[in-house]
Amino acid sequence: MRLLVVHQLESRLDRRTVSDHLYSFRRYAGEGSQVYYVNAFLGLPAWLAWVRFDLVVLHYTFMAEKWQRARWQRQLERTLPVLSRLQAGHLAVMCQDEYVHSDPVNDFLRELGVGTMVTCLPEHEWETVYPRARSGLSHYLTQAPGYVDELACEWVARQPTTRAPRPIDIGYRARRLPYWLGRHAQLKWEIADRIQRAEGARGLTLDLSTDPGDVFLGDDWYRFLLRSRVMPGCEGGASLHDPDGSIRARVDEYVAAHPAADFDEVEAACFPGLDGNLELFAISPRHFECAMTRTTQLLVEGDYNGIMRADEHYIPVAKDWSNLDEALARAADPDHCRELAERAHEDLVASGRYTYRVSVRSLLDHVERVAPPSAGRATRRERALLRALRLLERLDPRLRRPRRSYEVLRSELVSEGRLDTYALAAWLHGRVQRLRGRGPE
């Protein structure tokens, strides 16, 4: 199978969760699969339409531009002319954060003729967010936002701190989410606030933050997990569907005028009676990462896709916080925590049931059923362009330049016509030769 993954990344410093998900196709598609990547940040070369692909996947980093209407429109103007001309046996889109701006996404799906939506939504919510009548979708495939990455497991196993005593009793990083995601999303930051104020946390070493500036990138996230005995959390997702972004606009305007308003006040003023119109609750990559690092989890009770069970894989906290001190007392017991962490590692990681290898195979098996590969052997021109695509990925300025520099580079490339012409292949070849010291500057 010849597969093209279209993504959008603007920084070479990304959360490990993002890169593990994105490159899972290359790592785990299996023998006989040819996987190519193109970063839409620099635009899409027009000659992509000259190459036949069995499957084109628009990654969730590409779809994330929907968060800002203006950026989404610019992205469509820059990429839709090429995307609409791609020779793809099947087109699949991967989405996350599906609680907002689903209307423009549905319009995009229909215009492009997308066949499969890979979604975090449970089956009973597929039609709520992506109704067939508007989206034109033929197939839906529910997957978790992230899974266990085998290479990351190998990295974790090599760390000297894997089995060492951990200096942090309870560690946590999350950001305070806006009210227009609904009450469920507030649990992410509220659990940190509750623990910091809880009587049961006295005597425990805490490292909790909801400040975006305290985020860990790359391998530093795993290092933080390996220093923490216990990680709080809740199911990912949201409880409020905002298909056209109007709720978000009302909330932002209201909060700007009333910065001290709490959730109840904002709900009454901006979306009375609407919270709970969506059940988008899912196990998140963080839960798998904690299991990988044998970090015990202290979680708000939930379903967790039926994968994690209270008192078996995590210490449960009631949604009304009534048993928080009791849960913290259990978190203070190293032996009890070690037992839960080992069981979570065994069932979620060592079992091999929840790996990226399995999730990638699930998607590829689905595509082979609904649209058997038909691209055939690459022609001479296709082989040349696929080599250019590999070079384009290797020379992605995101990998080697700070943001200010590659924005300048992008402007230069646009002005010289290098982004949308067949000449890009020749330019890339010359660029590689110069990097190797074989050509003139």
Per-residue pLDDT of the chain (441 residues; tens, 9 = 90+): 999 999 988 765 556 788 889 999 999 998 889 999 998 886 788 889 999 999 999 999 999 988 888 888 888 988 999 999 999 999 999 999 999 999 999 999 999 999 999 999 999 999 999 999 999 999 999 999 999 999 999 999 988 765 668 999 999 998 888 999 999 999 999 999 999 999 989 999 999 998 888 888 778 899 999 999 999 999 999 999 999 999 999 999 999 999 999 999 999 999 999 999 999 999 999 999 999 999 999 999 999 999 999 999 999 999 999 999 999 999 999 999 999 999 999 999 999 999 999 999 999 999 999 999 988 899 998 998 898 888 878 776 554 444 444 455 556 555 555 444 434 544 554 554 554 454 333
Angle at 60 between CA 56 and CA 64, to 5 degrees: 125
- Give the number of other CB atoms < 10 A from CB of residue 419: 16
CATH class in words for 150-350: alpha beta
- Strand, helix or coil for residue 418: coil
Strand, helix or coil for residue 245: coil
CA distance 170 to 163: 17
Which pTM does this prediction carry? 0.85
CA atoms within 13 A of residue 124's CA, in its CB half-sphere:
5
Tokens of 24: 């899972």
Q: CB–CB of 239/279 below 8 Å? A: yes
Closest residue by Cα to residue 329 from 231, 214, 206, 199: 199
Torsion sign over Cα 20, 23, 29, 31:
negative
CB 90 within 8 A of CB 118: no
The angle formed by the CA atoms of residues 404, 38 and 373, to the nearest 5 degrees, is: 170
Which tokens go with 295?
């970090």
- Mapped onto helix, strand or coil, the DSSP state of residue 356 is helix
Q: How many CB atoms are closer than 10 A to CB 253?
A: 11
Cβ atoms of 61 and 7 closer than 8 Å:
yes
**Cα separation, 382 vs 376, whole angstroms:** 11
Contact by Cβ (8 Å): 300, 319:
yes
The domain spans of the chain are 2-146+355-435, 150-350
Distance CA 100, CA 97 (A): 7
Which residue, among 135, 138, 81, has the nearest Cα to 108 in the 3D structure?
A: 135
**β pairing state of 168-173 and 206-209:** parallel
